[in-house]
A = this chain, B = another copy of it.
Amino acid sequence: MTYTLYYWDGIPGRGEFVRLALEEAGADYVDAARAPGGTREMLRLMKNAGSPAAPFAPPFLVEGRLVISHVANILFYLGPKLGLAPENEELRYVANGMQLTVTDFVAEIHDTHHPIGVSLYYEEQKPEALRRSADFLSERLPKFLGYFERVLGHNPMGDAHIVGDRLSYVDLSLFQVIEGLRYAFPRAMRSLEANIPALVALHDAVSARPRIRSYLVSDRRLPFNESCVFRHYPELDR
Contact = CB atoms under 8 A, between A and B. Distances in A.
Interface string A141-165: 0001001001100111100000100
Interface stretch (A20-28, A111-119, A189-197): A111-119
A101 B56 contact: yes
Interface stretch (A46-54, A180-188, A212-220): A46-54
Given A73-B97, A132-B116, A135-B117, A51 B147 contact: no
B117 A116 contact: no
Interface string A51-80: 111111100100001111110110011000
Contacts of A100: 69-70, 72-73
Contacts of A132: 115-117
Contacts of A131: 116, 125, 128
A101 B70 contact: yes
Contacts of A94: 52-53, 67-68
Closest CB pairs A-B (n = 6) = A117-B135, A69-B97, A70-B100, A56-B101, A53-B94, A73-B96
A235 interface: no
Nearest to A132: B116
Contacts of A55: 97
A69 B128 CA distance: 31
B154 A49 contact: yes
A29 interface: no
A217 B117 CA distance: 37
Given A52-B154, A128-B131, 8 more contacts: A50-B154, A52-B151, A53-B94, A56-B144, A68-B93, A73-B100, A117-B132, A118-B140
Contacts of A93: 66, 68, 73, 76-77
Contacts of A123: none
21 contacts: A52-B94, A52-B151, A52-B155, A53-B94, A54-B150, A56-B104, A56-B147, A57-B101, A66-B90, A68-B94, A68-B97, A70-B96, A76-B96, A104-B107, A115-B115, A115-B116, A117-B132, A117-B136, A118-B140, A120-B135, A128-B128
